[in-house]
Amino acid sequence: MITKFSERLYADLNKDINALALEEGQLIKRYEKSMHVCIKYLRRLKDFCKVNDPGTPSEEIMFFKNIKPKFKSQLIFYQSLLNLEIRKPIGDGKVAADYLSNEIKILHHFFESNLSFYQYVRTEATYLDEYYFVRGNYDVHLDPDQCVVDFDPAFSTTHDHKLAQVLASELMQEHLEHSIQKIMQKDAIIQIDSDFRDFDWKQTKCALIELIYCWHATDAFGKKNLKSIVKFIEKSFNISLGNFYDTYDWLSNRPSPTVYIDEMKSAFMLRIQKKLK
């Protein structure tokens, strides 16, 4: 029961987060809103867990290893993005790239400080699960989270928070590397002839994702997989499309999934009609 509920809840969380990502406006405000969304869904998960408590050690391990950390990692990730944006120095180019590179070094220090647990997670090991992800266990030799004494004992184990930190740190590293790449691309664009400078995508991200899925469906780039096409388009149009899978789900649920494609067709037909007059 808790697995099906958590899957629906996590899907709703991603939809709400994705909707915020499509909004225009200040990043700080968007990250703040995203954090509030994460807290709301984490509370819903907690409330459901209290009523439908995992009854066996295997159910506890499944919940505190595979479910709760996914929700908690999103909150940690957006908290990190908020802190990153608030502390960002004034300036572009090398100043911004150096700042982001230093943040990557801090992440590497976190991974190194938790190397044994990180390796345990990355190798999908299970032999310590009953110590890491079952409530009430506290083995000082397994480097338990020091904050566990302040957590709700009914909703925490010694390592579920640390696992959430690992997942959030991986998301953060990907974000930082992508941001540095964008800065390097912008610096490279400056060297290009002025006739080719202003070719950034001016329509919405949803519009571009509509096109990408159409190109993929019609083999416009041959048999390239969807992710590689997205990376190529992001680089070509100097844009970050974020979690395009979730955007696709959102587009599919709209009354009209192909708003931009329909708009393009209408504009093209109108152009032809003008030419024929």
The residue count of the chain comes to: 277
Separation between Cα atoms, residue 165 and residue 175, nearest integer Å:
15
pLDDT band per the 50, 70, 90 thresholds, residue 93:
confident
CA distance 259 to 255: 9
pLDDT at 277 over 80: no
Range scoring the smallest mean pLDDT among 118-132, 145-159, 171-185:
145-159
Tell me how many degrees the CA angle 186-236-209 measures, rounded to the nearest 5.
Answer: 120
Number of other CB atoms surrounding residue 257 within 10 Å:
14
Q: Where are the domains of the chain?
A: 2-190, 199-276
Determine contact, residues 246/14, Cβ cutoff 8 Å: yes
Contacts of 88 (CB under 8 A, 6+ apart): 96, 99
Asked whether the predicted pLDDT for residue 190 surpasses 70, the reply is no
CA-to-CA distance for 231 and 228, rounded, in angstroms? 5
pLDDT, position 175: 93
Distances (CA, A) of 94 to 47, 97, 240: 47, 5, 20
**% of the chain residues with pLDDT over 70:** 93
For the chain, the average pLDDT equals: 88
% of the chain at pLDDT higher than 90:
54
**pLDDT band at residue 246 under the 50/70/90 scheme:** confident
Looking at the predicted structure, is the pLDDT value of residue 148 above 70? no
Intra-chain end-to-end CA distance of the chain, in Å: 64
What pLDDT score does 150 carry? 61
Of 106-110, 188-192, 221-225, 244-248, give the lowest mean pLDDT range.
Answer: 188-192
Across the range 33-60, mean pLDDT stands at 93
CA 268 vs CA 202, 209, 261: distances in Å: 18, 20, 10
Quick one: CA dihedral 55, 61, 66, 72, positive or negative? positive
- pLDDT at position 185: 76
* Residue 157 and residue 64 in contact, taking contact as beta carbons nearer than 8 Å: yes
Is the pLDDT assigned to residue 255 strictly greater than 90?
Answer: no
One-letter-per-residue 3-state SS of 154-174: CCCCCCHHHHHHHHHHHHHHH
pLDDT exceeds 70 at position 259: yes
- pLDDT, residue 105, reads 94
Over residues 122-134, mean pLDDT? 93
Q: Looking at residues 233-257, what average pLDDT do you find?
A: 85
Distances (CA, A) of 48 to 133, 139, 253: 18, 28, 27
pLDDT in tens, 199-243: 778 888 888 999 999 999 999 999 889 989 999 988 888 788 888
What is the reported pTM? 0.68
